[in-house]
Amino acid sequence: MASLQAIKGRIKSVSSTKQITNAMNLVATSKLTKAKEAALKSRPFFTEVQKVIQSIAKNSANLNSPLLKQNGSSAKGYVVLAGDKGLAGGYNANIGKLVMNHITNKDEARLITVGKKSREFFKARHFDITKEISGISAAPTYSDAREIASYVIDLFNKGEVGEVYFAYTAFKSTIQQEPTLIRLLPVDISQIEEVEHEGPKDLLIYEPSPEAVLDYLMPRYVTDVIYGGLVESNASEQGARMTAMDSATENANEMIEKLAIESNRARQAAITQELSEIVGGAAALK
């Protein structure tokens, strides 16, 4: 059995850790509320873009947007969203593993890492990283999404990659986050989620032409998908961190309780030992 002083030291150490994890839990809870609001606000505009793209696709026989067609390159690009900080359970590792399982040829993989943990994951596995972006995971903006979209669209248009995949963590609930991988480029219109239309359908007139409008909308659509992934991943990260810190706090409480019992036993053992010594000493004086 450890000494009483050593047990008290462990209790003090665990209590300090508990205060930190509890504080991080509260911070993550606050950030989660803001992240969920941002995700909800981003959806209406994205929904309208989907409606227009669907309408054009249904009413035009000539869709020649370069973002809809294969370019012949065998290389694949991966935009991987992770956090800039750890202590979020398996949040950062899970998205990295998802991408690793999808990569079939390491030499033809072009990685665009978003978040320090994404970069560290692939650096540790000796991948060449095409572009690194960090410092935006906690408060992503539409400008951040536009920057990423412009970069991957440029890679695709130049033929440096034939496909671009987007890896992010979809926010399902506070305790459920789902690592997700989708093909971003070339855009497959048939895979765009069907959106309910309100009012008369197919009565829109596009100027100068449906194809020109589609060419304008496709980069916006790619940007919207990326922005949606950024805000969803932010909410997922905060939810994962909140859950992890809540679990860590509970574990600290359990450890403190066990150490308290161990401390009481050590104290009782010390008292018993002292009484035995006193009785033994008294008996020796007789």
Asked if 165 and 145 count as a contact pair (C-beta separation under 8 A), the reply is no
Say which residues have a Cβ less than 8 Å from residue 124's Cβ, sequence separation at least 6. Answer: none
How is the chain split into domains, by residue range? 25-243
Q: What is the pLDDT of residue 196?
A: 53
Predicted pLDDT of residue 84: 95
| Contact present, 86 and 92 (Cβ < 8 Å) | yes
Residue type present at position 116: K
The per-residue pLDDT for range 46-73, each reduced to its tens digit, is: 677 777 777 777 666 667 788 888 898 9
Angle at 207 between CA 202 and CA 211, to 5 degrees: 75
Non-local (6+) Cβ contacts of 163 within 8 A are: 76, 77, 183, 185, 186
Which CATH class name applies to 25-243? alpha beta
pLDDT < 50: residue spans in the chain = 197, 199-200
Cα–Cα distance, 77 to 185 (Å, whole number): 9
